[in-house]
Amino acid sequence: MVYIVQNDEEFLEQLAAPGLVVVDFTASWCGPCQRIAPLFDRLSQEYGARGVKFLKVDVDQCQITATNNNVSAMPTFVFFKNRVAIARLQGADPNALTAKLKELVESNETLASAASDSPVSGYLDLSSFINQSQSECLNESDTNNLKHALLAGSGFYLESDCDEQLIINLAFNQPVKLHSLKLLAPAENGPKSIKLFINQPRTLDFDQATSMEAVQKIDVDCNDLVNSTPIPLRFVKFQNVQNLIMFVENNQNNSEVTRIDNISFIGSPINATNMSDFKRTTGKKGESH
């Protein structure tokens, strides 16, 4: 059965379902969306009994949700687990949709439970709480930018441009508590020395980041990068985080280019999400597609 999402707040509620959640970002005026809709319905009947939840989101009714999930064309199918986007497909390709769903369901069923995805018991992966439209990175490559590192499983990555240093400013949709940081990167040129700052009024420049005292300094082990092992944070210092700045000072082999495949945080939101706190940052109503 396909659940029709009525608004942005309802989407967040439905996304909290355990297990795999498949979201069809669609529009009433989109011809390809209408053609693939019967297949989406059939797949929901086949896989619903195996614990998969199917959501349909009209991008005109849920524009904030569409923007936060980088939906620019319809249909787009995004696959979530524990609120984290783990895969996506764009376009009305029946074979690709069927194959990807089969692959993810079979992979999911090899796990002991949905909760086993979180390496820290009692906490969530907070990737879906990062507001990408209000986040930025200084010295990022034009082709390999921050958004790539915030989309798990995309196969893309963030890469530095002029030298090895990066300043990454991540904004959260609501205040959160941060327990640990996870980085996926190559052992050769993944980040090594990192300084963390929280709740800054604006993005620091490189001189400021170098001279200011950090909330925490981290010397990253290359094994933690390769295995994406949670790096503990000083939990008491990260209790009410609205934005976090990561200053990557250097990388593992001191080369000119630093690469990060994925950035994520383990923790918990402080309060229930209030959709009135969200603000449109670009474009006008109806322009998200």
Q: 31-48 and 94-108 helices cross at what angle (nearest 10)?
A: 30
Round to whole Å and give the CA distance between 244 and 264: 12
Q: Which residues contact 197 (CB under 8 A, 6 or more apart)?
A: 204, 209, 212, 214, 215, 244, 245, 247
Alpha carbon 95 to its chain centroid, in Å, reads 26
| Mean pLDDT, residues 274-285 | 39
Round to whole Å and give the CA distance between 33 and 74: 7
In this structure, what are the phi and psi dihedrals at residue 182, rounded to the nearest 5 degrees? -120, 130
Whether 280 shows a pLDDT value over 70: the answer reads no
pLDDT in tens, 194-210: 999 999 999 999 999 99
**How high is the pLDDT of residue 118?**
55
User: Which of 199, 264, 257, 202 shows the shortest CA–CA distance to 229?
Assistant: 264
pLDDT in tens, 89-148: 999 999 999 999 998 888 766 543 333 455 677 788 888 889 999 999 999 999 999 999
By the 10 Å C-beta count (0-12 exposed, 13-18 middle, 19+ buried), 198 is classed as middle
End-to-end CA distance of the chain: 26
Residues forming beta bridges with residue 68, ordered by sequence position = none
Round to whole Å and give the CA distance between 238 and 219: 18
| Mean pLDDT, residues 212-228 | 94
pTM for the structure as a whole: 0.56
Catalytic machinery residues: 30, 33
